[in-house]
Structure 1
């Protein structure tokens, strides 16, 4: 249920030896790692996921190796849904050829709130189009054997700021149902195999109205009950984003996320993997993480890992 960032082969091997279910290739990783993933799988000898951020446009890591592709906004403006699905498949084939099995894409936030962090990473200012195009891109990735991940639930497009920089508050939950949550409803229905990333936005009316969604059990409850979503739920980055890191250490944030309902806790910054594992064990032993929560999340991850060919 842990997905730490890695920077090179040795770092990845050490964290996998500690038992993590997946690794995240950070933007500052050694590019050589992209040519070593198949060998890493052979050496580790068990299934695990390898994730990357590759949306197209300004968020496409190691594009000198993995290729250059238009932004989601440009895709939606110049391509049909079928063409975007084909583009997703093209990207997915390249990622999978290098040993990458999870793409933290597509963004299905609705643009229109004037946030630079969203902008052309969004397919559209129209909620339904954002969902339709995101679903098409996701189906393409999935057809290539790469897990697509819709982000950033429940919607970052109209938040008060950028969660990389600090707290960001969305409109109140009733307002979200009529706008920001629509793309997720569309996308979940049209690409049911995809996963979801829960963002760090604070949503007034969701639980206590002060806890970021990624650490808020009400956010995961909404995801599971309102949307009937049964797939994998990832957190957004728990160390590289000030909305979390300003107030919590990684040893605090990971157990809090798992207790709230995340199936895999994601983080990018350097950390002591054994200290994080110890913090999670302590959280289980003291009742912060309920055994059922641990079991349900681990089963979802294991089901995912069993499907990797």
Structure 2
């Protein structure tokens, strides 16, 4: 193996096209710069199929991090074959308004069910919970947010993360420093938040500040906070190093948001190529760069990996052992319960019962 690639770690997260691994998938997942794979609904057919797919991925490289965007509500990739339909985060916030302690209890139960079911089919990690505040303007956030009040968001997010931890799974708080204030959807547009740093830190960023010491991972927003930096947060050393790491004291892993999104490669007035965007995100302070849905486009992922390999050889992708250590720290350390053992678990059964009672 090339020494430059070994030293560079495995900072890339990519996807696969279908419900089974192809020869191309296997070659890409074996690439030393790839550290993870993210699943989508198209990769799901059944519990047995998903468990077999993830076993095949781990057989290629056991240290690959298998991820999914599985929050609850409208962002839940697996919904059939026994998977629990999880409530939206807004539903948990509304329950909190009626009965605060029941809301906290339900959030912990949701996290436990979410993570337990994912781990039972071989998924290591979910990109949840959302810490964005519900300002009532953002269509892309909407009911994915717990509440407008950052105190409620922090309490419920912490409870959900604790539930996930009980099932042996880490979590990812998103989208730092807050996506809920802007109307534009960063999947298809380039949102700009023109508030001052003081206003953002006093409101939207406060859940990240309060939970900084316990968060497993953070995902920055593809939003330009124009009075703070001309770069989107995920490409900004000011946001990631000066504010998130130094000022707020966060020490976990940082994921870029999807670099294939409209705002995912837009820096200082121009649209970058995928490899250039990944290098910019990593240089700014991200530990892992996500490029999603490109296994469906012939040649794109292979060209991306080849460009990243050249960057490692030239020194443009600088070795950073701490970056790789933070990635590996997200891998589960305790064995997962299989589906049958999960169904027999008193803790899991109680969590499902609580959700059914509190959020029918």
- TM-score, normalised to structure 2, is 0.78
**Unmatched segments (≥5 aa) in structure 1:** none
Tell me the equivalent position of 1:40. Answer: 56
CA 1:27–1:256: 2 relative to 1, 3 Å: farther
Tell me the equivalent position of 2:251. Answer: 230
1:285 Cα offset (Å): 4.8
- RMSD value, Cα: 2.1
SS for the counterpart of 1:23 is strand
Q: Does residue 33 of structure 2 align to residue 13 of structure 1? A: no
Counterpart-to-counterpart distance in 1, 2:329 and 2:86: 31
Q: Which moved more, 1:13-22 or 1:281-290?
A: 281-290
1:300 Cα offset (Å): 1.6
Tell me the equivalent position of 1:149. Answer: 172
1:50 Cα offset (Å): 0.9
Maintained 8 Å contact 1:165/1:243: yes
Tell me the equivalent position of 1:299. Answer: 325
SS for the counterpart of 1:152 is strand
Counterpart-to-counterpart distance in 2, 1:155 and 1:193: 15
1:193 Cα offset (Å): 4.7
Counterpart-to-counterpart distance in 2, 1:74 and 1:45: 39
Counterpart-to-counterpart distance in 2, 1:14 and 1:93: 30
Q: Which has the higher contact order (CA 8 A, sep 6+)?
A: 2
What is the aligned counterpart of 2:13 among 3, 28, 53?
3
Tell me the equivalent position of 2:272. Answer: 248
Q: Does residue 311 of structure 2 align to residue 283 of structure 1? A: yes
Counterpart-to-counterpart distance in 2, 1:268 and 1:41: 17
Q: Does residue 112 of structure 2 align to residue 89 of structure 1? A: yes
Maintained 8 Å contact 1:234/1:265: yes
Counterpart-to-counterpart distance in 2, 1:123 and 1:226: 25
Q: Which moved more, 1:126-135 or 1:269-278?
A: 269-278
CA 1:285–1:48: 2 relative to 1, 3 Å: closer
Q: Rg larger in 1 or in 2?
A: 2
- TM-score, normalised to structure 1, is 0.90
Q: Which moved more, 1:32-41 or 1:265-274?
A: 32-41
Counterpart-to-counterpart distance in 1, 2:165 and 2:28: 26
What is the aligned counterpart of 1:74 among 83, 91, 103?
91
Q: Does residue 225 of structure 2 align to residue 203 of structure 1? A: yes
CA 1:264–1:308: 2 relative to 1, 3 Å: farther
Q: How does 1:121-200 map to 2 (within 5 A)?
A: 121-170=144-193, 171-189=195-213, 192-200=214-222
CA 1:73–1:94: 2 relative to 1, 3 Å: same
SS for the counterpart of 2:192 is coil
Counterpart-to-counterpart distance in 2, 1:282 and 1:113: 45
Counterpart-to-counterpart distance in 2, 1:63 and 1:161: 28
Counterpart-to-counterpart distance in 2, 1:289 and 1:39: 30
1:30 Cα offset (Å): 4.6
Counterpart-to-counterpart distance in 2, 1:223 and 1:89: 27
Counterpart-to-counterpart distance in 2, 1:54 and 1:163: 19
Report the number of matched residues. Answer: 302
1:171-218, Cα deviation, whole Å (9 max, x unpaired): 2322101101011122334xx152111121111233xx2211111121
1:301 Cα offset (Å): 1.6
Counterpart-to-counterpart distance in 2, 1:130 and 1:28: 31
